[in-house]
Structure 1
Amino acid sequence: MWQDKWVTIVLVLLLVLLQYRLWSGKNSIPDYLARKQEVHDQSLQNANLVQRNALLKADINDLKIGLEAIEERARNELGLVKEGETFYRILPAENE
């Protein structure tokens, strides 16, 4: 009679210990869910970086292939003007 209860007590104790490890031990379910969220966040960041790299590659190809892209950058970023062109700057009216 005690042997039956003893086996049951040991099995219940093992079940409790395994459940404890599953829910709050190392590599538990909350740890797994946290890592899963980190992987998802990193995947989003990687997708953004892939898109940025694609834009940079397209920009590099434009600069390698055509002079129009170089000229456009020089005009927009450096304010350069072609020889023979006249540059006009229109300033907003001052309010007195």
Structure 2
Amino acid sequence: MGIGRLLGTTDYVVDSEVFGTDFEEILDEQAPETQAVVRLTVMGFTGTEIADKLNITHGAVRNRLTRFRTALYEAARDGRIWIPRELHTRKAPRQAGRVAA
């Protein structure tokens, strides 16, 4: 299944300011499903929306993003790419006054 078919229900257009050459090269090395998940993530869709659009589980969306983040962070450590803000892992804020059980 190609990425075009996976993204057939979207209006996806590559934004050259977000997807630089090195980023595209790393993304192109990924499976078509991972490419679709990453592109939809950068477009601003939530994990649930992506799962619905691609007819996969929310867990599969998370797993594909995790694998791709690993590839990105390795490339970033090597100084080859800049990572778009939308793909950074977001940590949940700590709640004040919360007591561990």
**Range into which the TM-score falls when normalised by the shorter chain:** under 0.3
* Structure with bigger gyration radius: 1
TM-score between both structures, scaled by the size of structure 1: 0.25
Q: Which has the higher helix share?
A: 1
TM-score normalised according to structure 2 size: 0.24
